[in-house]
Structures are given as structure tokens and as C-alpha cells.
Chains A and B, each alone.
Chain A
């Protein structure tokens, strides 16, 4: 893989208060401009690892380096998409999408212009004035994605973004996500417990084993996605092989 490393995970240990060991000795290099996925059964610490990279949780031991700088908290080069969307219930779509920019102190007009652009990109044009409780789960997650895109971070961290969304919406969303991100050359770090989702989306899949979470395997499906429609990808031999291979490994942990 010729891409340069953008995120380096160095010997991360994470033990929670009360002695629960979530991660032990995790080291990784994540390539720039690609989609990397953390995959594993529940309890393997994949979300914890993502939140450590985000700077939300300080690790017990080890370091995270992003673009050659050590992480000691959240930073503008990383944006997060939450499993439960984390939308402000009292703010409409426009304000929610612009919220990251609002926190940076950008004037209203500027940030709203940027937000509108990204709202349109995720297919929510004309919903700017709606409130989260008026939207479906899939639409709420689009708002979450637009918010992450608005701050123009290089790295987008996604924590099981489709787990609260129904299956049809999920598939459609996955396809659109691929499209969108390939054109933007973002680095995506993605957490999921769906094997198909991981294989379908990722350039690199990091399999984690549970209790404590350690890296078990790294799989690079090498699926040629350029110019092919989703159904072709889902019938691609490399895709199917990757799904099988992952299942072979994961079933030992279940």
C-alpha cells in the first residue's frame, strides 16, 4: 500500500477504573486517504480505541500520533460521527451541521453557507429548518456526517454510524458514503460489528479479539471499486473471499 501513514497507534493499553482491561498492546499504522475499519465482537474495545484516537479518552499507556503530532485531546484535524448521532435536540439541522464551526467562532453567515453546502451533499437539502426529532434515524445520521464534513477535518472517525439505522437505509448510505469520501480524499476510521459492512467499505480491516482487545489480524480486501456499481462489488470474488476470511477468524471469538 503506497499511501503514507496519517495516524499512528503506539502500544496502547487501556484499563478502566475498576480494573476492566479494554485494550492491551495495540500498535497500528493507518494510511492516509483510505478507509480503515475496526471490526470485532462486542467487548473487543473497538469503540474505546476510536475514542482514544479522537482524544476523548486518555489511554492508560501508549501514544497516538496524528500527522506527526502527539495527540493529547480532540483536534481540528479529526472529526467524529457518533453512534447515537449526538445531535442537539434544541437546534435545527442547519445549526447542528454548523455547530463545529460555531464552536470555532466563525460568523453565522459564513458557517451557515458552509453548512448548507454539506447538507446538500448528504442529500438533506430543504431540511435545514427541521429539528432532529422530526427526522428519521437515517436522516439524523446524515446530519451527523454533514457536521463532520463541515469542519473540513482530514480524518473522519465513525463509531458504528449505521447501527441505529434500518437495513435499506444502511445500504444506500454505505454506497453514498463511499462515493462521497473517495472524491474528498478523506481518511476514514470506521468502527463496526458487521462483517459485510467492513468488507464492503474498507481498504483495510483491523480485526480485534476481545477481553482485552488486541489486534488479531489485518485484512486488505483489495476490491476494485472504481467505476463499478454496488451489486457488482457485492458479487466480487475478493469481496466474498474477504467476508469468508473474516468470519473464519471471528467465529473463534464468539
Chain B
């Protein structure tokens, strides 16, 4: 898009959307759309409150722990699944099922078996995130440049050297793509888990705001959560772009 002969960066269109939002809000066209400016103000009022910071702390903690487990399990197991044929064949089907299945349906099971608490959210995050890491790591290792593997063997690489110096690095673009997708899914896991549990973290806040019709606060929270998800996935994407040249020289 150009204006008066100057290119306008694409993300400036968001500004236009916010202006539209403001107009709709001011015109009182919809009860659920308050003016954007009051959403921003509400954002600044809720952020410093203790309730908010507590909710964020709980949510972040569940997210971080769940993601950490997903990475610690997903990457090594994905590598093993690619290298040990029988393991790949036994687990592959289940990974394929769960990577596209509605994991959210498992939350009631977790609530019944583990209870209504933080650990249920942690496991929800783990389950949302782990399968896509498994899948992409496996693909990355399987697609690892065969001639690089032959080269390493030719020059006398030991088994652990083959993994640490060649295979893992070869698969890095795919692994990072998996991590980025899993981060996005993990954030969804926190939100969905907490919404279904409804007494924890940001899920509790969402319930609270919508039930008491605090639309400004509700939208402020939506924007904050969306920004967090987006920023996180962009951060991983940044890393991904740094290893992009691997693919070009393959």
C-alpha cells in the first residue's frame, strides 16, 4: 500500500483497524464493543492490580513448565523415533492421531483424574505442545542430508558425534519450526485449560470479566494475551530465520 508515493508498512493497517474499532465503539453499535481508547485505558488499570499479576504469574508458570516438559520429551523422543525404526512405527500412529485431534477433549479427563488445579493446566499445555515437536523433530532427522551423514562416517565420526555434530544441527530448521508451532499451541493450551477449569489464571479473569460485563477489561486482556502469543511465536521465527540458509545450501 502506498500513500502520496510512500510505501506504508503493512503493520500500519492495524492502526486503521483500531480507528475503525474506536468509531464503532463511540457509535455504540454493539454492546460488546467499547471504544478502543477505553480498552487501552482499562488495560493500564488492570495491569498493575494484584489480581491480574497473580493470574498472569500462574498462567506463565503453567505455560513455562508445560513447555519445558514438552521440549525435554519431544526433541529427544522425536530423534529416537526417527532413528529407531520400531519405536517410530509403534509411536508414529499415535503422534499422528494426537497432533490433529482435539486435545481439549482430554481436559475433562485431566480434571477428573488429577484434579482441578495448576498441574492439570501444565499437562494440558504439555499435551497441546508435545506432539507437533515430536512430529517435526522426526521429520527433520529423517530428512537430514544423507551425504552429510555419510561424510561424517567417512571421517570417522562416533555415534554421539553423528548426533551432536551433524544430525541435530541438520534437523534444526524443522525442530525450530516445530517449537514455534508448539509455542502457539502451548499458549492455546493455557487459555483453553484455564477456561475449562475456570478458577485459575487468565481463564478465571476471562470468565470474571465476561460475566460481570466488563467489556473494556475483557478486550484489554484479549489484546494482552494475543500480543504475548504473537510476540513469542515471532521470537522463535526470528531464530528460525537465522538458520534459514541451511535449507538454501542443501
Contact = CB atoms under 8 A, between A and B. Distances in A.
Contacts of A131: 245, 249
Interface residues of B, number: 23
Contact of B150 (A75, A82, A90, A103): A82
Interface stretch (B8-16, B161-169, B227-235): B161-169
B56 interface: no
B109 interface: no
B10 to A, nearest CB: 28
A79 B152 CA distance: 11
Interface in B142-156: 145, 147-148, 150-156
A133 B245 contact: yes
Interface in B74-108: none
A54 interface: yes
Interface string B47-81: 00000000000000000000000000000000000
B156 A74 contact: yes
A90 B249 CA distance: 10
B169 to A, nearest CB: 5
Interface residues of A, number: 29
B169 A78 contact: no
B2 interface: no
Nearest to A90: B169
Nearest to A144: B151
A237 to B, nearest CB: 39
Nearest to B248: A133
B245 A103 contact: no
B162 to A, nearest CB: 9
B157 A103 contact: yes
A152 to B, nearest CB: 12
B246 A103 contact: no
Contacts of A104: 156
A244 B33 CA distance: 85
A88 B169 contact: yes
B7 interface: no
Contact of A132 (B154, B157, B169, B249): B249
Contacts of B172: 90
Interface of A: 51, 54-56, 73-76, 78-80, 82-84, 86-90, 99-100, 102-104, 131-133, 147, 151
